[in-house]
Amino acid sequence: MSPLSWTRRKSVSKGVDSTHEEALAIGDTLGVRDYVIPRAAVTLGEKLGSGGFGTVFACTISKEVHGEEVEAVAKRIYPKRLSASDVPLLKSEAQNWSSISHPNCVSFMGCCLHESEYLLLCEYMPGGTLETRLAQYLQDGRPPPTQDELVAWMAPLADGMKYLHSKGIIHRDLKSANVLIDNEGRLALSDFGLSRKFDLGKSEFTAETGSYRWMAPEVTRHEPYDEKCDVYSYGCLCYEMTTYRIPLHEMTTLEAAFAVARDAMRSKIPASCPPVIAKLISDCWQQESERRPSFELICQRLEQLKMRASTEEPSIQRTDSKRRLAEEEDQAASSSTASLKRPKSISSALVDMTVH
């Protein structure tokens, strides 16, 4: 199968039958008319999962659409089950996702729209999520990643986020569970259900949007925020890459949210993490958003690390004894936060937090 094109495709069916006209009308409402394809062109396969917004299936798109039969993923949504507040979210997801064309963002491949069923179609990423991959590394006892490995993981995602921000889109739910992997190891950002358009300057977006462990403190505190909230989440994502663990894993979700938003607590970056990577992570999850670097600057710093690595002699690998010592130091440091207790009332310090 040839690689997918990253360019947008127009609707391949210009028929005048009532069903297709209805689909185009819905496409107008959602802002994706040019991406509507016939329902008959999509064959659903195995169910892959489900969430609050729909059910996900493996599927195939017939060759009439892309010139050859293509494996894809279909997100099925039942419009009659959508609440009034869900409709703007769906519209934003469809419009933002269909406007994206970047190799490190999961590609939107069209939609099938009917009054009883919507299908949002995207490329198939058989490698699963980065979250699952990192959890397997932890279970297998894989050694901490080298600097070159970390840069190879971090750079494409930073480039994808730089692209999103250049188009005026905030992701707002950046984490390892929303990074997918293809057969060649390519990493791609996914799940644009919480993405939003933004203008320069901080705005009053929906509060507490995203996932608490990766959520910027200003978002948790219901303060105005901007695209730098994604930079904070990126720092947490990079921490996952260095440790194979979620941020503040030793705490409950509520404890973690409270500790970050009120006390500026962060996960302990392990001694095994290369210093330049540790510094970048620390810069990304600064408490004040103005102190966090842009993704353009992050990409520049990672590119410099790539260039430096290509000109330097291979570094001497850390011996097993030193690696064990570093891991023991990390474990001892992390245990110091294990005794932190859940606050009796988080609402006394933060604004009516609701754990999702």
- pLDDT computed for residue 237 by the predictor: 98
Within the chain, strands assigned E span 42-51, 54-61, 70-77, 108-114, 117-123, 169-170, 179-181, 187-189, 196-197
CA distance 14 to 21: 9
pTM above 0.85, yes or no: no
The highest-level CATH class for domain 130-348 is mainly alpha
- How many angstroms separate the first and last alpha carbons of the chain? 40
Q: Is 17 among the residues known to form the active site?
A: no
Domain residue spans of the chain? 18-123, 130-348
Kindly give the confidence (pLDDT) of every residue in the chain, 356 residues in length, as a single tens digit, with 9 standing for 90 and above: 334 443 444 444 444 456 889 999 999 999 999 999 999 999 999 999 887 668 999 999 998 888 899 999 999 999 988 888 888 889 999 999 999 999 999 999 999 999 999 999 999 999 999 999 999 999 999 999 999 999 999 999 999 999 999 999 999 999 999 999 999 999 999 999 889 988 755 555 555 466 899 999 999 999 999 999 999 999 999 999 999 999 999 999 999 999 999 999 999 999 999 999 999 999 999 999 999 999 999 999 999 999 988 777 555 444 444 555 555 555 544 444 333 333 333 333 343 343 33
CATH of 18-123, one of 1.10.357.10, 3.30.200.20, 3.30.390.10, 1.20.58.480: 3.30.200.20
Among 159, 173, 191, 330, the active-site one is 173
- pLDDT computed for residue 347 by the predictor: 31
